[in-house]
Amino acid sequence: MDKTLIVIPYCSEGAQGRELEYAVAGWRRHFKDPYLIVLAGEDHPITRTGDDICCVPSPRVAPRDNQYRQHLDYVSCFKKVREAFPDTAGYVRVGDDCYAVRDFTLDDILTPKTIGETGKNSFSAPGTWQGDKQRTRAALEASGYTTHNYTTHLPQFFEWDKMAALWERYGMDRVSYVDEDLYYNIYEGDLPAVNVHAEPQPYKCGVYRSNPDVATIEAAFGNKVWITNSPVGWVPQLDMMLDQYYNDAGTWVFKK
């Protein structure tokens, strides 16, 4: 297939608002290479809005003791996507809460990006997000790999064969790891990377507080490629800005 495969894992119970609609609008408006968006997991009415988007259904996996269920879900749904698109070399994975606000290409995605070191917090219980970060760091250290934190909340490209090798090597359908940390530290850990939590950088504005700096978000529509948010960062101000931006209301002036 001569299109970039954009895979968005989707589960409606985690949705807080119109994040998915805005995320898809961002790809349609700003990605300058041929693409196909694939919702992996649960379907959504947005897959009926164009021939540039579809769904590969994947039921949630059963919970396992001491494992972070979402990471096991990722392995299950990505395997189904690979089966559905066997003629692709790889895929871009991105969340439904990452919104493009400036034109970009695959080269922008392929630029390595980090946010420092991974899994350095005090002990967290297995079966939690931080528990998986620490389990992943321990596995990397045991094999002498770098331990950069590649959980950037931005689009990332994965080659199918390389990822499949990690699924097998670490038994990732049974034991949960942070797959982006494994993948990029093992295959690209020695490459220079942009720290997207250190300014100046052109890629990311992260909204991670319930009381964000609205002026910073406004400026991001002119000086960043993507705006992202955590669950606590999904606030009415952000929803309003994205709604006005993607719907071209013509009443919002974005600061440069």
Tens-digit pLDDT profile for residues 54-110: 999 999 999 999 999 999 999 999 999 999 999 999 999 999 999 999 999 999 999
Provide the mean pLDDT of the chain. 93
Q: What distance in Å separates the CA atoms of residue 35 and residue 91, rounded to the nearest whole number?
A: 10
Res 111: pLDDT: 97
Res 122: pLDDT: 62
Q: Is the pLDDT of residue 163 over 50?
A: yes
- Would you mind telling me the total number of residues written for the chain in this entry? 256
Res 15: pLDDT: 78
- Residue 6 — left, alpha, or beta (φ > 0 → left; ψ -120 to 50 → alpha)? beta
Res 254: pLDDT: 35
Q: Is the pLDDT of residue 256 over 50?
A: no
Q: What distance in Å separates the CA atoms of residue 213 and residue 151, rounded to the nearest whole number?
A: 22
pLDDT in tens, 17-67: 889 999 999 999 999 999 999 999 999 999 999 999 999 999 999 999 999
Listing DSSP states for 23-47 in one string gives HHHHHHHHB-S-EEEEEEES--GGG
* Whether the Cβ atoms of residue 185 and residue 162 lie closer than 8 Å to each other: no
Apex 242 CA angle, 30 and 96, nearest 5 = 70
Please give the average per-residue pLDDT across 176-195, as a whole number: 97
Question: pTM of whole model > 0.85?
Answer: yes
Positive or negative CA dihedral for 145, 146, 150, 156? negative
- The band of 248, judged by pLDDT with boundaries at 50, 70 and 90, is low
Residue 134 parent element (H or E): helix 129-142
What domains are there in the chain, each with its CATH number?
A: 4-195 (3.90.550)
Closest CA relative to residue 220, chosen from 102, 123, 54, 110: 102
Residue 168 parent element (H or E): helix 160-170
Pairing of strands 156-159, 90-93: antiparallel
Res 226: pLDDT: 98
Res 255: pLDDT: 31
Res 134: pLDDT: 94
